[in-house]
Amino acid sequence: METQEWYTIRNADAIDTPALVLYPERIRANIHAATGMTDHIERLRPHVKTHKSPEVTKLLLEAGIQWFKCATLAEAAMLAHAGAPDILLAYQPTAAKLGRWLELIRKFSGVTFSCLVDNAATGALLSEAAQKAGIPLHVYIDLNVGMNRTGIKPDEGALELYEALTRMPDIRVEGLHAYDGHINETDITQRNDSCTRAFAPVYFLRTLLKERGYPPVKLIAGGSPTFSVHAGKPDVECSPGTFVYWDKGYQELLPDLRFVPAALVLARIISLPAPDQVCIDLGYKSIAAEQPINRRVFFLNAPELKMLRHSEEHLVAETVPGHGWKIGDLLYGLPYHICPTVALYQHAEVVMDGAKTGEWPVAGKDYMR
């Protein structure tokens, strides 16, 4: 009996390209793997920036996960509509966002919302808005452990900020947040050592807060690369995101993490510009293009293709003379970076048991910014 590769779609003629394609069985397998990496499911707070999907959110909820993290108000709204009971906006809202943030909190009064703060001025802004609205705002202090983009260093300044925030009216300080995306060594021992060094000041800060009489301080930490490291430590909420779909980049970089690709981009050959070249309908409007051209997509059924030129609607790749590819041939592409790739699509094609069965919206783009 002829076997079919896991990614092959029997009724692919029903799908126009380029298309984002999801495999729910594999998404469930990745969720199961993630829940098995922590001793308590309460320590999982997955980031939804990768999938932006109410359907994937519901799969996470069905697995028992109740705590979520997002990067935008649109993603927060998507989570609330999908039934998530606890939502952290891993972003520090400016005055321009505060009105919509408060509106979301009012609309979903049964949901626990929180956001990040890394300075006293923003804390004061939130406090004033909370008092006017009559709604207390929950916050986590954003710590800079080496990403150097947002956050306050976990030192005396962070201790002073924590204490200042606790004195502000209608501000509820829930704990600390630290993202360590810069820690991504392939060797797990090196990754573990880097993570331990980066978080030593964070743990010392928690100790100081405890000594000053504050209740136990929550810590939300990490992404996918350091997930296994933080999962092995007590009292840390882990925030992997890419794990639900996985991608070629993390598959190569993090071989110790046994997640499987669950999202592809489907493309077709649309021209044969030279005897040793094919042109594919996968421009950089359809696949994340922030990395070098040879690290944007890997075609599972055409691993020999070498990317040459990339433009808005076209990808030209080199093959061998006499290759046999024809116009209209289907290519199954594994993105190197799935998160920004998903953000390029309005919906995804859903494939179950080797056939397209429906569509899922990328709804985290549509509610609001």
Confidence of residue 321 (pLDDT cuts 50, 70, 90): confident
pLDDT (tens digit, 9 = 90+) per residue, 324-336? 999 999 999 999 9
Question: Is the same domain home to 216 and 293?
Answer: no
Q: In what order do the strands lie in the sheet with 137-143?
A: 67-70, 86-89, 112-117, 137-143, 171-178, 218-221, 237-238
Rounded to the nearest integer, the mean pLDDT of the chain is 96
Question: Is the same domain home to 213 and 302?
Answer: no
Average pLDDT in the 122-138 region? 98
Q: Which residue has the higher pLDDT, 345 or 363?
A: 345
Question: Is the same domain home to 60 and 140?
Answer: yes
Domain with 148 in it: 25-246
Question: Is the same domain home to 82 and 225?
Answer: yes
User: Residue 81: what pLDDT?
Assistant: 97
Give yes or no for a contact between 88 and 139, defined as CB atoms under 8 angstroms apart: no
Average pLDDT in the 27-33 region? 98
Confidence of residue 368 (pLDDT cuts 50, 70, 90): very low
User: Residue 2: what pLDDT?
Assistant: 47
Last residue of a domain, one of 246, 272, 298: 246
User: Residue 234: what pLDDT?
Assistant: 87
pLDDT (tens digit, 9 = 90+) per residue, 162-185? 999 999 999 999 999 999 999 999
Last residue of a domain, one of 246, 270, 305: 246
Asked whether residue 87 carries a pLDDT value surpassing 80, the answer given is yes
Within-domain flag for 82: yes
Query: Which CATH number fits the domain that encloses residue 188?
Result: 3.20.20.10
Give yes or no for a contact between 82 and 58, defined as CB atoms under 8 angstroms apart: yes
User: Residue 4: what pLDDT?
Assistant: 73
Give yes or no for a contact between 106 and 137, defined as CB atoms under 8 angstroms apart: no
Question: Is the same domain home to 103 and 236?
Answer: yes
Average pLDDT in the 29-34 region? 98
Confidence of residue 364 (pLDDT cuts 50, 70, 90): confident
Asked whether residue 85 carries a pLDDT value surpassing 80, the answer given is yes
pLDDT (tens digit, 9 = 90+) per residue, 273-320? 999 999 999 999 999 999 999 999 999 999 999 999 999 999 999 999
Within-domain flag for 104: yes
Give yes or no for a contact between 257 and 10, defined as CB atoms under 8 angstroms apart: no
Question: What's the total number of domains in the chain?
Answer: 2
Q: Is 111 helix (H, G, I), strand (E, B) or coil?
A: coil
Question: Is the same domain home to 96 and 174?
Answer: yes
Q: Is 308 helix (H, G, I), strand (E, B) or coil?
A: strand
Query: Which CATH number fits the domain that encloses residue 348?
Result: 2.40.37.20
User: Residue 3: what pLDDT?
Assistant: 59
User: Residue 330: what pLDDT?
Assistant: 98
Q: How far is CA 259 from CA 46, 224, 336, in A?
A: 14, 10, 14
Question: Is the same domain home to 63 and 137?
Answer: yes
Give yes or no for a contact between 161 and 123, defined as CB atoms under 8 angstroms apart: yes
In DSSP terms, 278 is beta-bridged to 317
